[in-house]
Amino acid sequence: DSGVTQTPKHLITATGQRVTLRCSPRSGDLSVYWYQQSLDQGLQFLIQYYNGEERAKGNILERFSAQQFPDLHSELNLSSLELGDSALYFCASSVVGLTETQYFGPGTRLLVL
């Protein structure tokens, strides 16, 4: 158990819908990262938050957005869902520092029908 929690574990929805994925980092970790794992794109970095502020953006679509709250949990919002958004979405967290290591949550499996 990495200490990072993600809810829900599974999500099935329809095209055009909006969903919210939630992540709670390990105790003491200020940084939260979101990654998408799909069959055709592999594991890709989406976005990073540090202590409530956006720190870095990767290959995140405009239909996707995220935020980190004062209690450090983070939410990834996916809207206008398409079939191609079906993937495993991981949250990872780390402490601040140059030797930081990212620890991953169990992921949320999203299926868009």
Partner 1 sequence: AQTVTQSQPEMSVQEAETVTLSCTYDTSESDYYLFWYKQPPSRQMILVIRQEAYKQQNATENRFSVNFQKAAKSFSLKISDSQLGDAAMYFCAYRSGETSGSRLTFGEGTQLTVNP
Site residues (CB under 8 A) for partner 1?
2, 31, 33, 35, 42-45, 48, 50, 55-56, 58, 88, 90, 92, 94, 96-104, 106-107, 109
Closer residue to partner 1 in complex, CB, 22/109: 109
Nearer of residues 83 and 98 to partner 1, judged by Cβ: 98
Smaller CB separation from partner 1, 80 or 87: 87
Residue 16: CB minimum distance to partner 1, A? 26
Report, in Å, the least distance between residue 57 CB and partner 1. Answer: 9
Instruction: Look at residues 3, 60, 59, 55 and name the one whose alpha carbon lies nearest to residue 32.
Output: 55
Kindly report the three-state secondary structure assignment for every residue of the chain.
Answer: CCCCEEECCEEEECCCCCEEEEEECCCCCCEEEEEEEECCCEEEEEEEEECCEEEEECCCCCCEEEEECCCCCEEEEECCCCHHHCEEEEEEEECCCCCCCCEECCCEEEEEC
Q: Which is nearer to partner 1, 14 or 27 (CB)?
A: 27
Minimum CB separation from partner 1 for residue 40, in Å? 11
